[in-house]
């Protein structure tokens, strides 16, 4: 019960920890969101890498070469007029200027530029928004009205970096002071290439014709970057103005004009680079729309995150609670790796699912469960090992540790099978030898017998000089405890033969042993002084009976004998010879005892016949058979019955004689 309470407490505390991660997820704290954003960038630059960029997008760069040849920027609008004329003549699909012209230069220059814009009809001018602290629009910077009126579109060029400075999102739709819609350079550029005029902003998306771009509630979209700076074809501005560019390089292209020269360009940080021109960011968003390849982080992704946080956390806790550390640790690592693979596979499919929060859930659940298991359960496991490692095999100890509820050490009544053994005539044997040799031989014998008991999953209770007490059925319940005890007894006889061969090879004498086995109820548990010494043992009448049966071997000249109770438990699985009905001190009824034989012999049928005659009081007929068996098979049990038959022939038993032979005392 205490173990169940401990497990319940561990499950409860781990569940609370997992739901704490859920709480952090919905809090969207800067710290953890920062980590999450870095894993998002990692998926771009390390895992996925660059992908082919659209060849329909060309960047005309205001670069160092152009500044060197045309002079310090900003240039006269006559250069822009020439540029517009030349790209229009080359057959471009459209021109998106990542620049605006809010002030008058000169009448001639402004008029020339306005004329070029009007005749082209393919040029869009930039708009820049500034926002107040409350998020409202504080200022909108546009080009001169005479330029604005003849441009194809007004396209805002605002890019909003995250708190770490990386541009991952871009606003696709803004409204000016009068509530007018202003779409981003990316949206308008995509309109040009797709040939779609209609744009419909929804709550969580923006549609360009039949193409839908997923956004958050504020019309921000994630940019699915194709790659680092330089992935799109670049042409110096001056080369276009001075006719150094083959018109075929511009035909049917969307031209984005922006600064790339050091000191004048709008430097941005992206998942691929810490130094990317802003015009490249716009190009990446346009490319994403053209590919119809977007990354979403909305309700569906949040649901997946929630499931992953809870399910993986609970699974990690279950693995840690159920399995050994050597198994649970690599499995938890596989769980972390597996979720990482899942997060990346979803990223490739266009979904930003969280990597940090589920992995935090796994790690927290693992660490907390491992600690609590060590504090509550492993401490119990160590106690079990300390108690039982000297009594039972390592295999049984492991099973008890895996299921501590089966190891009750406080005392309980169980049906068990008890085995007693000792060395025959050990006192006289030990008196013949030096003490050192006695101890050496005894240790050899006890070690061999202990190994056999452990091999048969027995509980070694104690050594009593040359005597051994063992039992089966506790602490681990064993339905076949009687079978195991008899198998162990036969194994002990075989082990004794090996011990004898070793001692005879050294010039020593061989040993013989006697074993008694009984099955019945006994009290088993950790018994002793808690402050001094505790031992796991069995006590009760069953133990006493097993000891008396072991001693009865001396009367009958047998080696292994079992009680009638044990015989019933094994139900014909062994060759047993019914020896006698014996009385035991304190018992009103006699008890049958049986000899365990390694195999069936010709002796058995005649012996059973003689015993039946004996119990029917036909002592004369029984005597004849017992005499013959004793001479023919050198059977000590038959010899004992010969003596009893002769006694009863001379002095017949009373009329109420129940066939009991000897009275066994402790």
Strands of 56-185, DSSP E = 57-62, 94-97, 123-131, 137-141, 154-156, 169-171, 173-175, 181-184
Q: What tens digit of pLDDT does each residue of 110-167 get?
A: 999 999 999 999 999 999 999 988 888 999 999 999 999 999 999 999 999 999 999 9
The pLDDT value recorded for residue 264 is 81
CB 492 within 8 A of CB 421: yes
Q: How far apart are CA 479 and CA 469, in angstroms?
A: 20
Q: How many CB atoms lie within 10 A of CB 299?
A: 9
Q: Can you tell me which residue has the tokens 């504080």?
A: 138
Digit-coded pLDDT (tens) for 652-665: 988 888 777 665 55
In degrees and rounded to multiples of 5, residue 93 shows phi and psi of -75, -35
- With CA atoms as reference, report the closest residue to 626 among 525, 571, 556: 556
Q: Quick check: helix, strand or coil at residue 261?
A: coil
Q: Look up residue 341 and give its two tokens.
A: 């693979």
Q: How far apart (Å, rounded) are the C-alpha atoms in residues 235 and 457?
A: 84
Helix axes 619-633, 636-650, angle to 10 degrees: 150
Q: Are 221 and 172 in contact (CB under 8 A)?
A: yes
Q: For residue 428, what pLDDT is reported? A: 86
State the pLDDT at residue 587: 74
Could you tell me the pTM of the whole model? 0.66
Most distant pair of Cα atoms in the chain: their distance: 155
- pLDDT of 400 reads 60
Helix 325-348, helix 356-372: angle, nearest 10: 170
What pLDDT score does 536 carry? 76
pLDDT of residue 142: 94
Pairing verdict, β 276-277 and 412-423: unpaired
Quick one: 403 exposed, middle or buried, by C-beta within 10 A (0-12, 13-18, 19+)? exposed
- Residue 298 near residue 214 (C-beta atoms within 8 A): yes
pLDDT of residue 1: 45
Cα 94 to Cα 256: distance, rounded to the nearest angstrom: 9
What is the structure's pLDDT at 529?
A: 62
User: How far is Cα 469 from Cα 522, in angstroms, rounded to an integer?
Assistant: 14
Among 69, 114, 359, 399, smallest CA distance to 236 is for: 69
- Residue 558 has phi, psi (to 5 degrees) of -95, 175
Give the residue ranges of the chain where pLDDT is below 70. Answer: 1-6, 376-410, 528-534, 661-666
């Amino acid at each position: 019960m205490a173990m169940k309470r401990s497990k319940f407490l561990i499950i409860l505390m781990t569940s609370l920890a997992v739901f704490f991660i859920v709480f952090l997820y919905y809090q969207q704290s800067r710290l953890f969101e920062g980590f999450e954003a870095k894993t998002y960038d990692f998926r771009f630059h390390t895992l996925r890498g660059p992908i082919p960029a659209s060849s329909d997008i060309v960047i005309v760069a205001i670069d160092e070469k152009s500044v060197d040849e045309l002079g310090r920027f900003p240039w006269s609008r006559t250069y822009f007029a020439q540029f517009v004329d030349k790209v229009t003549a080359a057959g471009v699909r459209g021109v998106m200027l990542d620049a605006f012209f809010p002030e008058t230069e000169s009448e001639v220059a402004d008029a020339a530029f306005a004329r070029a814009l009007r005749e082209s009809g393919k040029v869009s001018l930039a708009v820049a928004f500034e926002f107040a602290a409350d998020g409202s629009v504080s200022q909108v910077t546009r080009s001169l009205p005479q330029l604005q009126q003849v441009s194809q579109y007004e396209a805002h060029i605002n890019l909003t970096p995250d708190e770490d400075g990386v541009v991952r999102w871009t606003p696709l739709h803004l409204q000016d002071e009068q509530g007018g819609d202003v779409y981003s350079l990316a949206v308008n550029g995509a309109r040009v290439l797709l040939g779609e005029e209609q744009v419909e902003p929804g709550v969580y998306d923006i549609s360009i014709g039949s193409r839908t771009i997923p956004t958050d509630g504020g019309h921000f979209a994630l940019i699915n970057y194709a790659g680092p700076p330089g992935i799109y074809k670049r042409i110096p501005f001056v080369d276009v103005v001075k006719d150094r560019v083959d018109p075929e390089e511009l035909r049917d292209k969307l031209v984005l004009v922006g600064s790339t020269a050091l000191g004048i360009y709008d430097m941005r940080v992206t998942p691929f680079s810490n130094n990317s021109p802003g015009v490249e960011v716009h190009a990446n968003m346009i490319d994403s729309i053209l590919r119809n390849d977007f990354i979403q982080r909305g309700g569906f992704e949040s649901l997946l995150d929630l499931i992953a946080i809870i399910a993986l956390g609970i699974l990690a806790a279950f693995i840690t609670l159920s399995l050994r550390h050597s198994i649970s640790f690599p499995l938890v690592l596989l769980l972390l790796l597996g979720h990482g693979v899942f997060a990346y596979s979803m990223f490739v499919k266009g979904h930003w699912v969280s990597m940090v929060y589920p992995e935090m859930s796994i790690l927290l659940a693992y660490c907390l469960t491992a600690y609590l298991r060590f504090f509550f359960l492993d401490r119990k496991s160590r106690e079990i090992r300390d108690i039982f490692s000297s009594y039972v095999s390592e295999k049984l100890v492991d099973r008890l540790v895996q299921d501590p509820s089966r190891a009750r050490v406080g005392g309980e009544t169980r049906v068990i099978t008890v085995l007693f053994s000792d060395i025959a005539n050990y006192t006289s044997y030990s008196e013949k030898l030096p003490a050192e040799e006695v101890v050496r031989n005894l240790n050899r014998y006890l070690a061999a017998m202990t190994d056999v008991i452990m091999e048969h999953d027995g509980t070694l209770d104690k050594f009593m000089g040359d005597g051994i007490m063992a039992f089966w059925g506790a602490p681990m319940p064993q339905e076949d405890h009687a079978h195991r005890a008899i198998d162990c007894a036969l194994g002990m006889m075989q082990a004794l033969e090996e011990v004898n061969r070793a001692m005879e090879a050294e010039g020593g004498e061989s040993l013989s042993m006697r074993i008694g086995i009984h099955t019945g109820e006994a009290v088993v548990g950790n018994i002793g002084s808690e402050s001094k010494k505790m031992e796991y043992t069995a006590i009760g009448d069953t133990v006493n009976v097993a000891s008396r049966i072991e001693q009865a071997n001396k009367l009958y000249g047998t080696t292994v004998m079992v009680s009638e109770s044990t015989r019933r438990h094994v139900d014909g699985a062994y060759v047993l010879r019914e020896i006698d009905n014996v009385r035991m001190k304190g018992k009103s009824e006699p008890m049958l005892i049986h000899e365990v034989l390694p195999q069936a012999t010709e002796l058995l049928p005649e012996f059973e016949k003689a015993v039946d005659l004996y119990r029917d009081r036909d002592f004369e007929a029984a005597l004849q058979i017992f005499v013959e068996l004793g001479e023919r098979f050198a059977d000590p049990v038959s010899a004992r019955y010969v003596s009893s038959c002769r006694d009863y022939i001379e002095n017949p038993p009373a009329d109420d004689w129940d066939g009991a032979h000897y009275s066994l005392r402790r």
